């Protein structure tokens, strides 16, 4: 088929009405269609079609007969399954090509889910990364691989994929922005840039030329090797493979992803300064050696692997796992001198899975912030022997993000891929009758952990926190005494403690009613709240007073107004 260039640098394929394609088409075949880019997303192709015919994208969507009103995976999938023939009859796009673009839109989420890269929360893909050089070469077309948060580099140009727009610091391709905006694909269409207009502030579209972003050139051959194999692993899992053959060894998908994500993060291999050990994917033997060590489930297995490879018995190997942990494997007995200052001898008897020294902790934070997607972070405490329940993991994750990045709840939740509507997932596996009791049990375990977050200035000692979670009595005595002295009763302590847990979890008082609107209150508190105005004022006063003190200690000086929504007695515990 001949190609005829038009203005605006659009590469168009002229489709002759007499040419028969692989699928039957009707008489209303449109004469022009943009040439698809390998791996292009369906929204990108729809925008290109709209620009070819000089109409807005929403009009093009309706002319093609697509009932797409929101940009999500389900509508894309349904469009491919039920309306592909209509699109082929109208536009001349082959059915298999259209189905590939629509199905490819789901691949990042399906790959991430089936490979168990987010075992705690599987959030929607919030926006897309991008390669400025690809946008320049392809005229602003977007590809599916950029949607996958596990992909870090562009294999074609060997540069790091950009995450944010340099101008507005937001995801440039997010939500339904592509459907509402008619700008070129290389322009940021995020509508969150505030501009003063008289006495009010209005928002405008960013419109920054993403081709002008400065790409980072820290790519190495090892990183590209690892990312290519990571994609192969995810594709294998998507078609149902339960084990991945690798250099004569069968690995679970999670273990294979662990290996390649670690290699991507470290660039030239995984190494530790103490032992000088280094593993690079230059040869199949090196990959097999690294995978055997990285995927050892226990300290004993790690010792056997190290001994079989002729390593010294005193080797200390610190490697990243897929959940974002730093796994410290020590074959020697941990002495007090190697522990974090202030922990003294109480760390001597801890297992290697709970040993977190300062040297291991600091690179762990750096590793997450620079190289891992935010969606993986909620599984931060999900080690091989983790016994933390679903509710606890979410709470600890938000608290850690706040503590590390010194940010408020909304930004911390954004890094985790959380929205207010996602909070209901916390109790989805808990029966209605056991809801309050389950949350209270989580409160008793997590409160000491969150209390202790204010004590460390330089690092967060996960091993000590996990140990303190098992001994909540001192904290509960403190809370009981506080409420008894100031409110006059501790009968409703469990319900009030739920609010305190939410406060410490998010650090933002607005997080409380959004998260716990479904929690049933005790009959006593419900009756007092509805009938006794003084009781309401007293509880609100003391809660907000303590909340301000907590936020002030964390360096947050924002107004605190909490008006809890007490449900009626039908849902009482």
As a whole number of angstroms, the distance between CA 289 and CA 294 comes to: 9
pLDDT of residue 101: 81
As a whole number of angstroms, the distance between CA 150 and CA 226 comes to: 11
Q: Which of 70-74, 104-108, 310-314 has the highest mean pLDDT?
A: 104-108
| Tokens (6 digits) for 384 | 């091989």
Residue 66 scores a pLDDT above 60: yes
Residue 10 scores a pLDDT above 60: no
Residue 75 scores a pLDDT above 50: yes
- Per-residue HEC secondary structure of 240-267 comes to CCCCEEECCEEECHHHHHHHHHHHHHHC
pLDDT of residue 399: 47
Binned at pLDDT 50, 70 and 90, residue 503 comes out as very low
List, in order, residues 6 or more apart from 18 with CB less than 8 Å away.
Answer: none
Residue 509 scores a pLDDT above 60: no
Three-state DSSP class for 196?
strand
Binned at pLDDT 50, 70 and 90, residue 261 comes out as low
Which residues of 173-332 form beta strands (DSSP E)?
Answer: 193-197, 200-204, 244-246, 249-251, 270-271, 278-279, 316-320, 326-330
Binned at pLDDT 50, 70 and 90, residue 197 comes out as low
Residues 15, 92: contact at Cβ < 8 Å?
yes
Residue 166 scores a pLDDT above 60: yes
Binned at pLDDT 50, 70 and 90, residue 544 comes out as low
Q: What are phi and psi of 515, to 5 degrees?
A: -85, -35
Residues 412, 402: contact at Cβ < 8 Å?
yes
Residues 130, 148: contact at Cβ < 8 Å?
no
Residue 484 scores a pLDDT above 50: yes
pLDDT of residue 188: 83
User: Between residues 152 and 249, which one has the greater pLDDT?
Assistant: 152
User: Between residues 203 and 339, which one has the greater pLDDT?
Assistant: 203
- Per-residue HEC secondary structure of 356-373 comes to CCHHHHHHHHHHHHHHCC
Residue 23 scores a pLDDT above 50: no
Burial 334-359 (b: 16+ CB within 10 A, else e): beeebbbeebeeebeebebbbbbbeb
Binned at pLDDT 50, 70 and 90, residue 34 comes out as confident
pLDDT of residue 273: 31
Binned at pLDDT 50, 70 and 90, residue 96 comes out as confident
Q: What are phi and psi of 273, to 5 degrees?
A: -70, -25
pLDDT of residue 362: 24
| Tokens (6 digits) for 133 | 């050089």
What does 3-54 look like in DSSP terms, one character per residue?
EEE-GGG-EEEEPPTT---SS---TT--SEEEPPPTTB-HHHHHHHHHHHTT
pLDDT of residue 240: 61
Q: Is the dihedral of CA 113, 115, 121, 123 positive or negative?
A: negative
What does the pLDDT average to over 487-493? Answer: 52
Least confident of 325-329, 504-508, 533-537: 325-329
Per-residue pLDDT reduced to its tens digit, 550-560: 556 555 555 54
Q: Which of 195-199, 262-266, 269-273, 472-476 has the highest mean pLDDT?
A: 262-266
Adjacent-strand bridge partners of 201? 196
Residues 128, 39: contact at Cβ < 8 Å?
no
User: Between residues 64 and 366, which one has the greater pLDDT?
Assistant: 64
List, in order, residues 6 or more apart from 101 with CB less than 8 Å away.
Answer: 36, 40, 41, 42, 45, 80
Consecutive H or E run containing 96: helix 95-104
User: Between residues 41 and 245, which one has the greater pLDDT?
Assistant: 41
Residue 211 scores a pLDDT above 70: yes
pLDDT of residue 167: 81
pLDDT of residue 37: 85
pLDDT of residue 487: 55
What does the pLDDT average to over 448-465? Answer: 40
Least confident of 57-66, 206-215, 385-394, 509-518: 509-518
Q: pLDDT averaged over the chain?
A: 54
What does the pLDDT average to over 131-146? Answer: 87
The pLDDT > 70 percentage for the chain reads 25
The pLDDT > 90 percentage for the chain reads 1
pLDDT of residue 26: 42
Least confident of 18-27, 180-189, 197-206, 239-248: 18-27
What does 413-479 look like in DSSP terms, one character per residue?
HHHHT--GGGGGGGGTTS-GGGHHHHHHHHHHHHHHHHHHTTT-SS---HHHHHHHTT--HHHHHHH
Q: What is the largest CA-CA distance in the chain?
A: 88
State the pTM of this model.
0.45
What does the pLDDT average to over 64-69? Answer: 74
């Amino acid at each position: 088929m001949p190609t005829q260039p038009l203005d605006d640098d659009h590469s168009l394929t002229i489709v002759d009405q007499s040419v028969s394609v692989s699928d039957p088409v009707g008489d209303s075949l449109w004469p022009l269609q943009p040439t698809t880019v390998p791996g292009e997303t369906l929204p990108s192709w729809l925008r290109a079609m709209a620009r070819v015919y000089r109409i807005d994208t929403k009009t093009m969507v309706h002319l093609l007969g697509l009932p797409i009103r929101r940009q999500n995976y389900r509508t894309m999938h349904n469009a491919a399954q039920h309306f592909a023939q209509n699109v082929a009859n109208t536009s001349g796009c082959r059915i298999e090509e259209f189905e590939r673009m629509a199905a490819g839109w789901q691949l990042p989420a399906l790959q991430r889910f089936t490979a168990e890269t987010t075992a705690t929360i599987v959030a929607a893909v919030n926006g897309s990364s991008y390669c400025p050089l690809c946008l320049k070469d392809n005229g602003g077309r977007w590809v599916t691989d950029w949607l996958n948060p596990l992909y870090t580099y562009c294999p074609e140009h060997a540069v790091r994929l950009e995450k944010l727009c340099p101008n507005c610091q937001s995801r440039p391709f997010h939500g339904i922005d592509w459907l509402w905006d008619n700008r070129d694909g290389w322009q940021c269409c995020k509508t969150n840039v505030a501009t003063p207009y008289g006495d009010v502030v209005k928002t405008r579209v960013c419109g920054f030329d993403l081709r002008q972003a400065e790409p980072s050139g820290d790519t190495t051959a090892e990183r590209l090797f690892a990312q290519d194999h990571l994609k192969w692993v995810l594709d294998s899992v998507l078609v149902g493979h339960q084990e991945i053959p690798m250099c004569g060894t069968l690995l679970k998908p999670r273990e294979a992803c662990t290996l390649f994500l670690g290699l991507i993060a470290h660039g030239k291999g995984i190494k530790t300064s103490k032992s000088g050990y280094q593993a690079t994917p230059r040869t199949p033997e090196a990959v097999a050696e690294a995978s055997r060590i990285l995927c050892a489930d226990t300290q004993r297995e790690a010792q056997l692997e190290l001994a079989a490879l002729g390593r010294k018995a005193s080797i200390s190997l610190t490697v990243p796992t897929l959940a974002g942990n730093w796994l410290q494997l020590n074959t020697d007995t941990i002495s007090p001198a190697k522990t974090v200052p202030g922990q003294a001898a109480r760390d001597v008897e801890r297992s290697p899975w709970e040993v977190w020294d300062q040297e291991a902790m600091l690179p762990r934070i750096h590793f997450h912030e620079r190289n891992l997607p935010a969606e993986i972070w909620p599984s931060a405490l999900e080690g091989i022997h983790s016994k933390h329940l679903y509710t606890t993991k979410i709470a600890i994750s938000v608290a850690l993000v706040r503590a590390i990045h010194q940010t408020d709840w909304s930004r911390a939740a954004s890094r985790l891929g959380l929205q207010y509507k996602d909070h209901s997932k916390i109790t989805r596996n808990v029966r209605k009758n056991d809801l309050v009791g389950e949350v209270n049990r989580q409160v008793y375990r997590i409160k000491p952990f969150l209390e202790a977050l204010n004590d460390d200035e330089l690092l967060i000692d996960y091993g000590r926190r996990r140990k303190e979670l098992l001994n909540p009595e001192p904290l509960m005595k403190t809370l009981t005494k506080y409420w008894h002295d100031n409110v006059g009763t501790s009968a409703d302590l469990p319900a009030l403690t739920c609010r305190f847990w939410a406060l410490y979890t998010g650090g933002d008082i607005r997080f409380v009613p959004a998260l716990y609107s479904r929690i049933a209150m005790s009959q006593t508190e419900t009756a007092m709240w509805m009938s006794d105005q003084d009781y309401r004022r007293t509880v609100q006063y003391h809660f907000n007073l303590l909340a301000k003190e907590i936020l002030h200690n964390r360096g947050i000086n924002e107004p605190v107004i909490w008006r809890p929504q007490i449900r009626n007695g039908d849902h009482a515990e």
